[in-house]
Amino acid sequence: MNAGRIVNMLLRMVLRKAMNRGIDLVVRRGSPQRASRPEEHQQAKQTRQAARLLRRFWRF
């Protein structure tokens, strides 16, 4: 593997984690200490799935 591919792979890993944390923060409405209810958990799961789908489409 060349250095460009390794850097690209690491960058994607960091961006994926940042996006997931951002989605979680938005779903919890900015309160990291608030306990999530089941419907909030479901909404977060759906939002992460949508983000995953969008990332897949951005590749093309």
Per-residue pLDDT of the chain (60 residues; tens, 9 = 90+): 688 899 999 998 898 888 878 777 776 665 555 556 777 778 778 887 887 788 778 765
Q: What is the largest CA-CA distance in the chain?
A: 45
What pLDDT was estimated at residue 10?
92
Tell me what pLDDT residue 28 has: 67
Distance, CA of 27 to CA of 45 (rounded, Å): 10
pTM of the model: 0.49
Q: For position 58, what pLDDT does the model report?
A: 72
Task: Tell me the two tokens of residue 48.
Answer: 């992460």
**All structural domains of the chain with their residue ranges:** 3-58
Q: How far apart are CA 45 and CA 60, in angstroms?
A: 24
